Chains A and B, each alone.
Chain A
């Protein structure tokens, strides 16, 4: 079977950051592979190692800069990758449907039996792309999967969906399916030196909307980011000043007043 993994390079804000317009200043952003996608990649690579998947293809919507991150997924065992980009994604705030437009076209070309996505992207925390994609392409789906047992012959995925409050739902999902992967599903590997070397020779196919038979209008977003600001603090935390020793002394006093360690 063929597995398609959606991966995203996500930005995080450094300790000190400034907001410029409706975004964080480029120099204050750090980029990395989305944590949830790292678990999706690991799940896909394990399926390949177990002989269940014949090929693992990664797909990302991202600028050229993202290739470095995507290459990490290749170094971990993804066979090849597709990187789709259009300036429309850089200037606007893509909505779920426009991302799904892209992934739908890629699915039509690749014809995977299983799509693995992360539960959410750490930067915008939308948590919707995988499930919306499943609906669009007529796949079954399960969201927030933290246990996966695939029975390819029976065409089934036995999954646990992690609900709130320490309860897991045990669900049998028909293939083909989209599963959104929760952290803890497995132990993502570190890329080996050999993997990193091999990744240099693996393909990352730079793909335009045109290549996919789409136009900029197709992926026009119904959402606009109109402002970004630092949230107002809800509490008046007393910030304890001084070096580590002084701060510890003050904190010890507070703790003793609360009856701790007394």
Chain B
């Protein structure tokens, strides 16, 4: 047998029936390479079937399992036990749901509410450019694409929005803003005026303080703040 860890998970729970929340502590033994989603499943099977938590692809491609672990927004599917122990230097973890969306039960939040911001940002070409006559496809050079390609990797896990020091009330948020910035940089978008109106609106990019908390927590390692900075300079 390889080494196991004795872990203490203190999870914030919420029961919608009684509208009460509380912290519940689970103690479990786990091998070094179990992920936090595996721990939640283990809790369900061995300790408490009632704990609700979210995930889907479980390999950091869908962004459904974001939670705060010891105060840091992360994907529960990506964090291995031994890495968590190394990162935080403890074997006790406090896990709370993200605050960018209302909690439905325990760690499950209403992602639809968070996504409303992304929808406001119109995650599609508002006015797609027509192909030039005689052409059967667009030409976009790798160099041009590389200016904004990183931003297209965003999975809308909202970890950045959770960490954003500008808060979630007045600012549309880093990932939602970035969804518009990408399309400002995309040569196929002709609806740019509408995008500028949003980006420079009351909830737009001037709410960002360039603290880079977003870039710091992004599980996809996207330099979100870089794109916001480009937008502030108008350097699309």
User: Is B one of A's binding partners?
Assistant: no
**Interface residues, chain A, CB within 8 Å of chain B?**
none
